[in-house]
Amino acid sequence: GKGGYDHYMLKEIHEQPHAIRQCLSGRVDELHGRVELEELDGLSTPKRVQFIACGTSYHAGLYAAHLFREMGVPAQTFIASEYATSPPPVGEDELVVAITQSGETADTLSALREAKARGAETLALTNVVGSSVTRECDHTMYIRAGPEIGVAASKTFTSQLVAVNLLVEAMNGNDAGVLTGLRDLAGDLQSVLDRVNVRSAAAQLAAADRCFFVGRGLNHPVALEGALKFKEITYVHAEGFPAGELKHGSLALVTEDTPVVAVLTGDDEETRKTIGNIKEVESRDAPVIAVTDGRVEVASFVDECIQIPETHPHVAPLLANVVLQLIAYRSANLLGRSIDKPRNLAKSVTVE
Ligand code: F6R
């Protein structure tokens, strides 16, 4: 059942601290500060990585490729249904990772077969034990989120990002800061669930005809995911952009009636550039809702500022994502939508 929640989606949002603990369980050696993944026995650090996935899992793939490139491994992410239209070369020591919650998505399985035909070594990142993808890949890593009933992915996206972090740390020599961030993540996420108030942001977005989500770097996939979740369950047009891209055309749509949700975490040049992008939309009178870890002060110039705890920059985007889940959920609830079963959508898409 829904365990006292109005919808499975809300229940699953609240299950995230538990899902994170499940994903980490037995995989981090706290004493030696090491990630140990039995799943990867026989798999060495790849020379290059390709991620193939659809929808929310594609956003996890974008995040994953960013982390691999940061560790010096060339990595690219492909929308599975496009992979075979122009298949990229598969080199020696190339790892192809299929990210799929259900393990049954036809587009992803089809792209995977294409990669295998080219000789790629393959890894499945999935939630469903024994699913088709696990039978077709050389290696499988489970995200261990538990069953997800809501059609819109919530906890499984968070678990995918946690699993990706484990993969990167196992291959990259275990950064103490990331491991601390992961260890604290379940508690930090719980504090977001307990303390963050999205009521007025949700009311503002639910009243709009369209809204935009922007973020840079690791917050770019979070912005895309925030927009996908929002449109999926509210039926309001939402679009996610890399923060710097809005000005290359879509800024023409920005008016006082176009709320912009900006995700800002970390304290670096990227965050400062995103602030510049926020100022551009504000000068067109767009209301701006910032989701921020507070490392850079934004509260004084945005309409609404939603604060998440400070943590490692690899991990902060996961907390920001939860705020966007809550905003989407609250907005859809205000609009009286069928949150667990949005129109036209199915949980597992087994046709190309
Ligand atoms: C969005 C959503 C879909 C799936 C996509 C891939 O909330 O759930 O976009 O992410 O259909 O599904 P899997 O991960 O099962 O391959």
Q: Report helix, strand or coil for 106.
A: helix
CA dihedral 345, 113, 95, 92 (to 10 degrees): -150
Atom 11 of ligand 1: nearest residue by CA position: 55
Res 287: pLDDT: 97
For ligand 1, what atom is nearest to the CA of residue 151?
8
- The ligand 1 site (C-beta within 6 Å) comprises 54-57, 100-102, 105, 108, 152-153, 228, 232, 348-349
Q: Name which of 135, 132, 158, 134 is nearest 145 in CA terms.
A: 158
Instruction: Check 116, 273, 341, 347 and give the catalytic one.
Output: 347
What are the distances in angstroms from CA 29 to CA 41, 61, 338?
16, 26, 43
Q: What is the pLDDT along the chain (352 residues), one digit of tens a residue?
A: 899 999 999 999 999 999 999 999 999 998 899 999 999 888 888 999 999 999 999 999 999 999 999 999 999 999 999 999 999 999 889 999 999 999 999 999 999 999 999 999 999 999 999 999 999 999 999 999 999 999 999 999 999 999 999 999 999 888 999 999 999 999 999 999 999 999 999 999 999 999 999 999 999 999 999 999 999 999 999 999 999 999 999 999 999 999 999 999 988 899 999 999 999 999 999 999 999 999 999 999 999 999 999 999 999 999 999 999 999 999 999 999 999 999 999 888 888 9
For ligand 1, what atom is nearest to the CA of residue 156?
14
Atom 3 of ligand 1: nearest residue by CA position: 55
347 is catalytic: yes
For ligand 1, what atom is nearest to the CA of residue 348?
15
Cα(3)–Cα(17) distance, rounded to whole angstroms? 16
Kindly give the distance from the C-alpha atom of residue 286 to the centroid of ligand 1, in angstroms, as a whole number.
31
Res 348: pLDDT: 87
Answer whether 170's CB lies under 8 Å from 37's CB: yes
Q: Name which of 166, 159, 150, 115 is nearest 136 in CA terms.
A: 115
Kindly give the distance from the C-alpha atom of residue 275 to the centroid of ligand 1, in angstroms, as a whole number.
31
Kindly give the distance from the C-alpha atom of residue 175 to the centroid of ligand 1, in angstroms, as a whole number.
30
Kindly give the distance from the C-alpha atom of residue 59 to the centroid of ligand 1, in angstroms, as a whole number.
10
pTM of the predicted structure, to 2 decimals? 0.98
Res 50: pLDDT: 98
